[in-house]
Amino acid sequence: MRVGVFICHCGNNIAGTIDVKKVAEEVRKLPGVVYATDYMYTCSEPGQEEIKQAIQNERLDRVVVASCSPRMHELTFRRTVEKAGLNRYFLEMANIREHISWIGEDKELNTKKAIDLVTMAIFKAIKNKPLYSTSFKVNKRVLVIGGGVAGMQAALDCADGGLQVILVEKNPSIGGMMARLDKTFPTIDCSICILGPKMVDVAQHENIKLYTYSEVEDVKGYVGNYQITIRKKATYVDWTKCTGCGECMEKCPSKNAYDYFNFGVAPTRAINIPFPQAIPKKARIDKNYCRQFIKGKCGVCAKICPTGAINYEMQDEIITEDVGAIIVATGYGLIDLEKLPEYGGGRYPDVISGIQYERLLNASGPTSGHILRPSDRTEPKTIVFVSCAGSRDKSIGIPYCSNFCCMYIAKQAILTKDHIPDSQSYVFYMDIRSPGKGYDEFTRRAQEDYGVYYIRGRVSRIYPKGKKMVVRGADTLLGTQVEIEADLVVLGTAVVASQGARELAEKLHISYDTHGFYVESHPKLRPVETNTSGVFLAGANQGPKDIPASVGQGSAAASKVLALFSKDMLESDPAIAVVNPNACVGCLKCLQTCPFGAIQEEELRGGKKVAKVIQTVCAGCGVCTSTCPCGAIQLQHFTDNQILAEVNALCQR
């Protein structure tokens, strides 16, 4: 065996706290090692060239690279050794950067540990076997989860690219948060006017199959071949018959249903169409408020419906779809007002959230676009906006900035002046964060042209005094306390992960952070990929994002899917579990533990029953190998012998 070892300096990242020359020197003494060197940047072109040269000159048959995490450059070096004529699985990596140099300060100890890790990699490399990938067919259909602006953009781009798209939206209509906005910053163009045509395109596109009021129940399979189970929730209205005339909504006697679309600014009916531009424009019964369901009698909507679409007996429907890739565009949620007691959130009706105010401004909202405060439906003259309500507040576990509140507060303050010319708006802010194109000019316009008072400081308490809400806070620029008697208080509530984000992530095998936001593959270089191949992200489910950023990501995710589907066949990863039928006793414990359903029972000639791994489904997690009582299942590239070689290498030292 002829092993070559390449120790990377990674500039000062590794060489700063590891004596790389000594590591090379020490491992050169090991049996089988015929070449060991160190290099400034092994991943650079000359660095890779050196590996190729060494393979040829020294007739190497195994290569060990000691550098960063294999997640960074394993693929790079696999290609390098392959180009030099070796099987790509003859490469082994030792992670001496993330595992040693970045975390330890003692150079001597670091060097010792580096020698250990590199030695282990050498012993494993010697045991490595050549592996070859097989190719499999790709199902060129894509699932988009979430019908907000990011999901719609992704769906349209995929569909325009000729892919079949399944779009699943959990609410009765597509449109997401953007459909609820009145105007958009910094152009003050009507939100639904620019979103509406997109919604219509989605509904009418021949390549898009739309499931609204539906949720993804289960995800099975792997990149190129996913099986999706979708739950189509019962609407109790036959949508093939419903024309969206809205007569049921007018006559429904249950008038106190919670209005999810309007964030509860005003009640709606138990049977309702969320908003005039809804797509599909169909009615749905809210079981929690419907008298037919609560009291067992009513039936008004069934009597009134001109097409006989009402069906109280309707059940949830389970649908399965096969796709090859998934785009997750599930958007964001907002912190409950109740979690902001210092602002009287949830206690006082005239303390509302920004999105609720948006609905008050909107012509299709519950007040038909007249700003009326919830308590007494009078027009407010003094309005106070509080930015960072919950955001950047470690005490409630939200240390991050919610990204777009500064901008929409400026927009709402401008619109307030348009709606009520004799009104005065105040904005309490920590910093004004307006880094987008035309954004800072916009916040300046609010102050200079619309006379909005910006007060730099935080609000300490909001309390009622007669019909007014007293907002008390600090003006840190003047160094004084200020009290404003407001008619209405609007909180720029913190953005949080959408409801059910964590559960969905677990179904998709993608990661999420402590706040429930999805984690991209690389924060800078792989912003729409996840660590699960074939699953992509778009929009605010990764963290607060405004409309332009969400749309950009929707298109980016679509382009990733189009690139993936540009090939008819995909190569499988050969590092999967393989059963040795001679050693297998057919207990099938592996079948029960496999989290991917990749193992099935097989009958050999002569009737012996053994386990069999479905190559394309196996994700190479290795659970089965530790379950197997007789060592009959071996995970390729991580076999017992290979792992033991590493352990032995470490223990002999």
The DSSP code for 519 is P
Q: Least separation, in Å, of the C-beta of 393 and another protein?
A: 13
Q: Least separation, in Å, of the C-beta of 350 and another protein?
A: 13
Letters for 390-409 (x = contact with another protein by CB under 8 A, - = none) are -----x--------------
Q: Which CB sits closer to another protein, 161 or 464?
A: 464
Q: Least separation, in Å, of the C-beta of 461 and another protein?
A: 8
- Other beta carbons within 10 Å of 76: 15
Q: Which CB sits closer to another protein, 342 or 431?
A: 342
Q: Which CB sits closer to another protein, 72 or 470?
A: 470
Q: Which CB sits closer to another protein, 291 or 347?
A: 347
632, 583 contact by CB (below 8 A): yes
Q: Which CB sits closer to another protein, 41 or 463?
A: 463
384, 485 contact by CB (below 8 A): no
361, 371 contact by CB (below 8 A): yes
Q: Least separation, in Å, of the C-beta of 341 and another protein?
A: 4
- Other beta carbons within 10 Å of 543: 21
CB burial string 500-535: b at 16+ within 10 A, e below: ebeebbebbbbebeeebbbbbbeeeeebbbbebbbb
Q: Least separation, in Å, of the C-beta of 395 and another protein?
A: 7
Q: Which CB sits closer to another protein, 400 or 463?
A: 463
Q: Which CB sits closer to another protein, 464 or 620?
A: 464
Q: Least separation, in Å, of the C-beta of 499 and another protein?
A: 24
96, 18 contact by CB (below 8 A): yes
Q: Which CB sits closer to another protein, 395 or 480?
A: 395
CA distance 434 to 207: 38
The DSSP code for 522 is B
Letters for 355-394 (x = contact with another protein by CB under 8 A, - = none) are ----------------------------------------
- DSSP-based three-state secondary structure for 88: helix
Q: Least separation, in Å, of the C-beta of 423 and another protein?
A: 24
Q: State whether the Cα torsion 547-553-556-557 is positive or negative.
A: negative
Element (H, E) at 409: helix 405-419
**Residues contacting residue 159 through CB under 8 Å, at least 6 positions apart:** 165, 205, 206, 207, 208
Q: Which CB sits closer to another protein, 108 or 342?
A: 342
Q: Least separation, in Å, of the C-beta of 167 and another protein?
A: 42
Q: Which CB sits closer to another protein, 347 or 392?
A: 347
CA distances from 349 to 254, 344, 373, 464 (A): 22, 9, 8, 10
Letters for 330-349 (x = contact with another protein by CB under 8 A, - = none) are -----------xx-x--x--
Q: Least separation, in Å, of the C-beta of 475 and another protein?
A: 18
Letters for 414-453 (x = contact with another protein by CB under 8 A, - = none) are ----------------------------------------
CA distance 363 to 625: 62
Q: Which CB sits closer to another protein, 466 or 606?
A: 466
**Amino acid identity at 244:** G
Give me the half-sphere count of Cα atoms (radius 13 Å) on the Cβ side of residue 169: 27
Asked if residue 539 binds another protein (CB under 8 A), the reply is no
CA distances from 24 to 2, 29, 219, 317, 600 (A): 15, 9, 47, 63, 46
Q: Which CB sits closer to another protein, 437 or 465?
A: 465
Residues 451-510 that bind another protein (CB under 8 A): 461, 463-465
Letters for 574-603 (x = contact with another protein by CB under 8 A, - = none) are ------------------------------
Q: Least separation, in Å, of the C-beta of 170 and another protein?
A: 33
Q: Which CB sits closer to another protein, 375 or 447?
A: 375
The DSSP code for 127 is H
- Furthest CA-CA distance within the chain: 92
Residues touching another protein: how many (CB under 8 A)? Answer: 9
CA distances from 236 to 240, 283, 306, 634 (A): 12, 9, 15, 52
- DSSP-based three-state secondary structure for 536: strand
Ranges assigned E (strand) in 234-345: 271-272, 284-285, 317-323, 325-328, 332-334
Q: Least separation, in Å, of the C-beta of 460 and another protein?
A: 10
**Residues contacting residue 599 through CB under 8 Å, at least 6 positions apart:** 577, 588, 590, 591, 611, 612, 613, 614, 624
Q: Least separation, in Å, of the C-beta of 392 and another protein?
A: 18
Q: Least separation, in Å, of the C-beta of 459 and another protein?
A: 12
Q: Which CB sits closer to another protein, 453 or 463?
A: 463
CA distance 351 to 345: 6
Pairing of strands 208-211, 164-168: parallel
Q: Least separation, in Å, of the C-beta of 484 and another protein?
A: 15
In the complex, the residues that contact another protein under the rule CB under 8 A are 341-342, 344, 347, 395, 461, 463-465
